[in-house]
Amino acid sequence: MLTQIRPALVLLVALAAVTGIAYPLAMTGLAGAIFPAKAAGSLIERDGHVVGSALIGQNFTGANYFHGRPSATTATDPADATKTVPAPYNAANSSGSNLGPTSAALAERVKGDLDALKAENPGQPVPVDLVTTSGSGLDPDISPDAALFQVPRIAKARALAEDKLRDLVAAQVQGRTLGVLGEPRVNVLALNLALDDMGKR
Amino acid sequence: MTTNGWIQIALYCAVVLALVKPLGAYMTRVFTGERTFLSPVLAPIERGLYRVAGIDARQEQTWLAYAGGMIVFNLLGFVLLYAILRLQAALPYNPADQSAVAPDLAFNTATSFVTNTNWQSYGGETTLSYLSQMLGLTHQNFVSAASGIAVAVALIRGFARASTKTLGSFWVDMTRATLYVLLPVCIVFTLVLVSQGMPQTLGAYVDATTLEGAKQTIAVGPVASQVAIKMLGTNGGGFFNANAAHPFENPTALSNFLQMISIFVIGAALTNVFGRMVGDERQGWAILAAMGLLFVAGVAVTYWAEANATGVLSQLGLTGGNMEGKETRFGIAASALFAVITTAASCGAVNAMHDSFTALGGLIPLLNMQLGEVIIGGVGAGLYGMLIFVIVAIFVAGLMVGRTPEYLGKKIEAKEVKMAMLGILCLPLMMLGFTALATVVPAGLAGPANAGPHGFSEILYAYTSAAANNGSAFGGLTANTLFYNTTLAIGMLVGRFFVKIPVLAIAGSLAAKKTLPASAGTFPTHGGLFVGLLVGVVLIMGGLTFFPSLALGPIVEHFAGAAGQTFSTGG
C-alpha cells in the first residue's frame, strides 16, 4: 500500500489543479469572451438597473401583470433562523414543493388556487401549470394556454382590448426547439416587459 | 401521451445508439494505449505526470494492487474534499460568504462525491462556496467517474486476457479516462451549455429589482463547467438545490436533450469497448440490447403514468398530466424520460421533482436503482454491474443444462459466482436494512415530509439512491441530519466499494484462467436467447428482493390514490 501513496498523492493534486482550477477558470474566461451576457446569467437591464434574469421567473402578484406558476421556494424566517417561511421565486434557494401524489396538503393548495382562478375567469378550463408548482420554483415560463387564460384580467386592469393582448401573447410564444424538443411556452418576464412597452407607446 | 412525446423519446434513443460505435472505438484506443488524435497534445502532459508521480506506465498491477491503488486514491480524495468543505469560509472564491460546512454534512458530501453518488444533503447555492464547487465537487466529479471507468476496463481485461496475473495499471487507466475522455468532451460541452444560457462566472450573486419593485437575489456561479462533468460522469450532484430543474442548470429544451445524451453516452459506449476488447463486438451489442429493453419498458411506464396525472389533479377536473414539480419548458415527456435515464444510469440529476411524481411514475426510478443501475448504468459501474448479472445468468444457464458454465471462453466457477453474489447482495442489505432501521427509530421517522405510504417511499428512495450511488432523491425527506447524513454515507461507501472490490477480484481470477475454444456445446452469448435470459435474471433477482418494499410504498399509494384517499401530516 505504501508504494501507492506517492502516485495517488501526485495524481490527486495534479488532477485537482487541472480539473478543479484550470478547467473551470479557463472555461469562465472563454465563456465570458464568447457569450458574455449568457455567462453572466442573462440579466435584463432597464434604465441602468437589473430587473431580473431572462431565465429566472419572478413573483408577479398584481392584476395588471401576467402571473407565473405557483412557486414553492422558501427563505429563512427573519424571526427564527431555524424555521423557513414561504418566499415565492427566491432565486437564492431553488426548490420544489416535494408534495407527493396523495398529499392532502397538495390537494388543498391546488383546490384553493383553482377556485381563485375559476372566479377570475369563469367558464374557462384552468391550465394545469397555473395550479402546480415547478421543480425549481423559478420556472420562467407558462404554457401559451396559461397566458391566454389571464388575458381578461389584464385587459380589465389595464383597460386594453383583449385582442391586442392575445396578439401580444402569440408574438411571445416560443415553439418546440427544432420543432420537436420540449413544449411550447411563454416567458412571463419577457411578456410583461412587452406589456409595459405596449403601454408606453 | 402525445406523438411528439414519443418522437422525443425515439430521437433520444437513436442519437445515443449512433454514438456508441464511434465513441466505443475511440475509448478502446485510449485504454489499449494506442495513439489518438489528441495524443500530440496530451501524451507529453501524461508522461510528465507519470514522471513526477513515479509511475512506470508499462508496469501493470495484479487485481489486489489495482484495488489498493483505487482505495488509496479515493481515500486521499475524500480527505481533500472534506478539508475543502470544512475550510471554505477561510478559502478564496467565496463571494456569498458561505460558512464552513458542518462536520456531518461535510462527511456525507465528501463520501457522496468520492463514491460517484452525489447525493445532495447540501443545498448548492445556500451552502457551498465557488471554490468548494470547483476544486471540491468538480474535481471529484472527474476522478470518481474515471475510477469507475478504470474498474470496468480492468474487468474487461479480465475477460479478454488469458493466463496472466495483471489487469493493467489503475493509475494509467484513471489518468487516461480523465484526460483523454472526460476533459475534452467537457470543454466542448461547457461552451455549448453556456450558449444555451447557463451561467459561467465567478461574480457574486446578483441583486435585481423586479418589475413589481421587489428585491430578488439571483444565485449565479461557475455552473456550466460543473454541469458538463456532472452529466458526462453520471455524477448528478447539482450546482443548485433544484439540480437540473433550475433554469440556470438546464436553460432550454436543447440543453435538456444534450444533458440526457451525455448521461448515457459513455456507459453505452463502454459496452462497445467491451465487445471490441474481447474480440467480438456482438457480445457488447447483446449486453446493450438487454439494457435497452429494460430502459424502453421503464420509459413507457413512467411516461404513461405522468401523462395520466394523479388522483388529486383529475378529481379537480385538471387535465394535461402531472405538472406538479415539473418545468414548463420540458413538459411531461422530457421530464419522464429524464427521470428514467438518470436512475437507469447512476446519475441522479433531476429535471423534475421525483417526490411529486405519480406513485407508479416514481416506482420506476426506484426500481431502476434497486436493480443495481445496470441499465446503461454509471460510467463504468453500469457495465461491471451488468457483467456481474451476466455471470449469474451464465451460472443459472449452466445449472439448467448440467454443464460447467462458460462465458467468452472462461469457465465460471465457484469463486466468480460467490464474488458476483457478494456484489449483488450488498445492495439490498444497505437499501432495505437501513430503511427498516429508519422506519422504527425517531431520528429516522423525523425525516419524511409526506404522510402515509409516500413517507415510507421517501425513506426507501433515499437509502436505495445512496447504496446504488445514484444521488437523486424524493426531496421532501429532511436528510441533512446527523442520523441520515451518517447512515446514508455508510450506504454509499458499502454500495460503491463492496461492489468494486469483488468485481476486481473476479477480474483477477478470470485473467488467470485459460481461454477455452468454443465448442458445439457452448451457449452462444450474442443472441436473443441470452439477452432474454439476462433480462430475466435481472428482473427476477430484483423482483424477489424488492417487491415487498415496493408494495409497502408506491404500489399501495397507487391504489390509495386511485380510491381518492389523501394523507395529511400531523393528523
List pLDDT tens digits, range B53-109: 999 999 999 999 999 999 999 999 999 999 999 999 999 999 889 999 999 999 999
- Quick check: A4 and B69 CB within 8 A? yes
| Residue A121 C-alpha, separation from nearest chain B C-alpha, in angstroms | 15
Which residue, B198, B23, B178, is CA-closest to A27? B198
Report pLDDT for A3. Answer: 83
- Strand-pairing partners, residue A50, are A45
| Mean pLDDT score, A113-122 | 94
B384 and B265 in one domain? no
- A157 at the B interface (CB within 8 A)? no
State percent of chain B over pLDDT 90: 88
- Domain membership of residue B331 (yes or no) is no
CA–CA min distance B58, chain A (Å): 14
Task: Kindly state the average pLDDT of the residues B218-245.
Answer: 94
| ipTM attached to this prediction | 0.96
Contact flag A106-B312 (C-beta cutoff 8 Å) = yes
Asked if the structure places residue B499 within a domain, the reply is yes
Mark which residues 159-178 of B lie under 8 Å from A by CB.
171, 174-175, 178
pLDDT of residue B1: 82
Q: What is the pLDDT of residue B475?
A: 87
Who's near A112: CB < 8 A, 6+ residues apart?
A: none
Same domain, B271 and B383: no
Q: Which helix (H) or strand (E) holds A52?
A: strand A49-53
List the single residue in B53, B134, B242 with the smallest CB-CB distance to A11.
B53
pLDDT band of residue B542 (cuts 50, 70, 90) is confident
Q: Closest Cα of chain A to B516: distance in Å?
A: 35
Any domain includes B357: no
Cα(A24)–Cα(B225) distance, rounded to whole angstroms?
6
Residue B311's pLDDT is 76
Chain B CB contacts of A61 under 8 Å are 212
Exposed (0-12), middle (13-18) or buried (19+): which is A48, by Cβ within 10 Å?
A: exposed
Residue A1, pLDDT > 80, answer no
**Per-residue pLDDT tens over the stretch A49-72:** 999 999 999 999 999 999 999 999
Is A23 within 8 Å of B183 when comparing Cβ atoms?
yes
Residue B320 located in a structural domain: no
**In a shared domain, residues B250 and B385:** no
Q: Are residues B115 and B243 in the same domain?
A: yes
pLDDT in tens, A11-28: 999 999 999 999 999 999
Domain extent at residue B476: 379-562
Report, as an integer, the average pLDDT of B125-149. 93
* Residue B301 included in any domain: no
**Is the separation of the CB atoms in A184 and A172 below 8 Å?**
no
Residue B54 lies in a domain: yes
Domain end, chosen from B279, B312, B332, is at B279
CB contact under 8 A, B69 and A196: no
Mean pLDDT, range B209-227, rounded to an integer: 95
User: What's the total number of domains in chain B?
Assistant: 2
> Do B260 and B395 lie in a common domain?
no
B390-400 pLDDT, tens digit each: 999 999 999 88
Q: How far is B395 from chain A (nearest CA, A)?
A: 34
Residues B146/B182, Cβ–Cβ less than 8 Å = yes
Chain B touched by A132 (CB under 8 Å): yes
Beta bridge partners of A186: A142, A173
pLDDT tens, position by position, B101-118:
999 999 999 999 999 888
Question: Per-residue pLDDT averaged across B186-193, rounded?
Answer: 97
- Contacting residues for B406 by C-beta, under 8 A, at least 6 apart: B394, B398, B412, B516, B522, B523
Q: Which residue, among B141, B143, B104, B109, has the nearest Cα to B123 in the 3D structure?
A: B109
> Would residue B223 count as lying in a domain?
yes
Domain finish residue from B216, B248, B279: B279
DSSP letter for B222, please: B
Q: Indicate the length of chain A as a whole number.
A: 201
CB B167 within 8 A of CB B157: yes
pLDDT category at A101 given cuts 50, 70, 90 is: very high
> Quick one: CA torsion of A48, A50, A53, A56, rounded to 10 degrees?
-150
The average pLDDT across A20-47 equals: 96
The 10 Å CB-count burial string (b at 16+, else e) for B37-66 is eeeeebeeebeebbeebebebeebbbbebb
pLDDT of residue B120: 85
Chain A residue numbers with beta carbons less than 8 Å from the beta carbon of B356 are 96-101, 106
pLDDT tens for B283-306 read 999 999 999 999 999 999 999 999
Q: 3-class DSSP state for residue A186?
A: strand
Answer yes or no: do A11 and B475 touch at CB < 8 A: no
Give pLDDT, residue B564: 87
- Given a cut of 80, whether residue A79 has pLDDT beyond it is yes
Domain assignment of residue B327, yes or no: no
Q: Select from B113, B122, B140, B327 the residue whose CB has the most chain A CBs within 10 Å, as the one to mutate to test that interface.
A: B327
* Per-residue confidence band for A201, with pLDDT thresholds at 50, 70 and 90: low
Regarding whether B206 and B81 lie in a shared domain, the answer is: yes
- pLDDT confidence band for B158 (50 / 70 / 90): very high
From the number of C-beta atoms within 10 Å of its C-beta (0-12, 13-18, 19+), residue B519 rates as: exposed
Alpha-carbon gap, residue B149 to B383, rounded angstroms: 9
Q: Is B386 found in the same domain as B269?
A: no
Please calculate the CA angle B263-B267-B272 and round it to the nearest 5 degrees: 140
Q: pLDDT grade, residue B123 (50/70/90)? A: confident
**For chain A, first and last CA: distance in Å?**
76
- Strand ranges, E, within B57-210: 206-209
**Is it the case that residue B571 has pLDDT exceeding 70?**
no
B398 & B261 share domain: no
Q: Is the minimum CB–CB distance between A129 and chain B shorter than 8 Å?
A: yes
Q: Which residue of A has its CA nearest to B333?
A: A182
Is residue B4 over pLDDT 50?
yes
Separation between Cα atoms, residue B114 and residue B111, nearest integer Å: 5
Tell me what the mean pLDDT of segment B215-220 comes to.
95
**Chain B CB contacts of A100 below 8 Å:** 355-356, 450, 454, 457-458, 474, 476, 557
Q: What is the pLDDT of residue B361?
A: 95
Given B264, B279, B294, which residue is the final one in a domain? B279
User: Which sign does the torsion angle of CA A49, A54, A56, A59 carry?
Assistant: positive
Q: Examine the pLDDT at B343 and tell me if it is beyond 70.
A: yes
* pTM for this prediction: 0.95
